[in-house]
Amino acid sequence: MPAGPPLPVIAILVTPETAASVVYGMYDLFRAAGRDWPMVMGGSPGAALLEPVIVSARAGVVRVANEVTIEAQRSLDEMPTPTAVCVPELMIGPHEPPEGLFAAEVQWVRRCHANGALLATSCSGAVLLGEAGLLDGEDATTHWAFCDLLQRRYPLARVRPQRAMVTAGEGQRLVMAGGGSSWMDLALYLIARLAGIEAAMQVARLNLIDWHHIGQQPFARVACSRQVEDAVIGRCQAWIAEHYTHPAPVAAMTQHSGLAERSFQRRFKLATGMTPMEYIQTLRIEEAKHLLETTAGPIEAVAEEVGYDDAAFFSRLFRRSVNLTPAQYRRRFGAMRAALNGGHHGARS
């Protein structure tokens, strides 16, 4: 089988001032894109969509902030221009200019940008863009404690302290996320931009990530994994995935199995950990979540679309399953998808 096109490469830049948690967190999320959702839903990992690489001034072990060691896979000199560069937060003082700290890194970042790479920074990592001279005349953001430093040291930048994320520059190739755990927003944005919005939403669901400017609410547990050890039940799962709106879904699935009702109920629960009706409701709720994220129609229409004539019953079931009403879910995660969609098309965040 011929090899497919090369994956987008995301270089995660490590310096002695880097926080290890952000490096490893980004690396794991990028690795998860395309791979983990099929594994959870169907039992087999999917194809990777991104290739993260940890880079540093020198390859090998780097002792970073908090005395943690990270192994850089490539040196800056060895690294061809990646699709994107991620600069995690830098543990430097907000009142101390970074004089001479990042000479090699700044030169490399500038070269990558000149060669067409997308540059993305988390928290205080935006300082590297300023040092590279890339913020002049551009919107920018960073951790709230570093906004004064950014504006004072790079006076031609338009620092936007109130914004959680900014995209700027030619082709929107400068991306900056604010402080703290907003690196997760940044990672989701890059997955959406380089691998597709659906891949980003899948990673968000699996890792319980919410878009930070709309608050944090854990995603509902995904519990409708495909089971293959019992071939009869596996065949029924494949069938109901396409027919979950059937008016009598359990009876139809039982008939499709060819088993007696009691035997079917017992084997289905043994195989999936759920009763057939619980499983069907899980499928319907997952489809309803997708419709709430992607459409603006009334809740009644969503309920009918996934197989419920009684919208009030659907709403109660949805809230019991997700811990949000359908309207609350749409406001939160519809906004998240819209934010990712805007970033995917290069719109200014």
Mean pLDDT computed over 46-63: 95
Mean pLDDT computed over 101-119: 94
Range ranked top by mean pLDDT from 109-113, 148-152, 289-293, 330-334 = 109-113
Is the CB of residue 238 less than 8 Å from the CB of residue 259? no
- When pLDDT is cut at 50, 70 and 90, the band that residue 210 belongs to is low
Mean pLDDT computed over 163-171: 84
Mean pLDDT computed over 252-270: 92
Residue 203 above 80 pLDDT? Answer: yes
- When pLDDT is cut at 50, 70 and 90, the band that residue 243 belongs to is confident
Distances from the Cα of 223 to the Cα of 114, 227, 262, 284, 321, angstroms = 46, 11, 23, 12, 11
- 140: its two tokens: 């920018």
Mean pLDDT computed over 136-148: 88
Range ranked top by mean pLDDT from 158-167, 169-178, 257-266 = 257-266
Q: What percent of the chain has pLDDT over 70?
A: 89
The C-alpha angle 333, 339, 345, rounded to 5 degrees, equals 135
pLDDT digits (tens, 9 = 90+) for 273-293: 789 998 899 889 888 888 888
Backbone angles phi and psi of 45, in degrees to 5: -65, 145
Residue 28 above 80 pLDDT? Answer: yes
Residue 262 above 70 pLDDT? Answer: yes
Which candidate, 336, 328, 342, 9, places its Cα nearest to that of 201?
A: 336
Domains defined along the chain, listed by start: 9-218+338-344 (3.40.50.880), 231-322 (1.10.10.60)
Is the CB of residue 61 less than 8 Å from the CB of residue 12? no
Residue type at 300 in one-letter notation: E
The C-alpha angle 73, 77, 80, rounded to 5 degrees, equals 80
pLDDT at 229: 65
Is the CB of residue 212 less than 8 Å from the CB of residue 164? yes
- When pLDDT is cut at 50, 70 and 90, the band that residue 179 belongs to is confident
Q: What percent of the chain has pLDDT over 90?
A: 47
Three-state SS at 117: coil
Whole-angstrom Cα distance, residue 226 to residue 203? Answer: 18
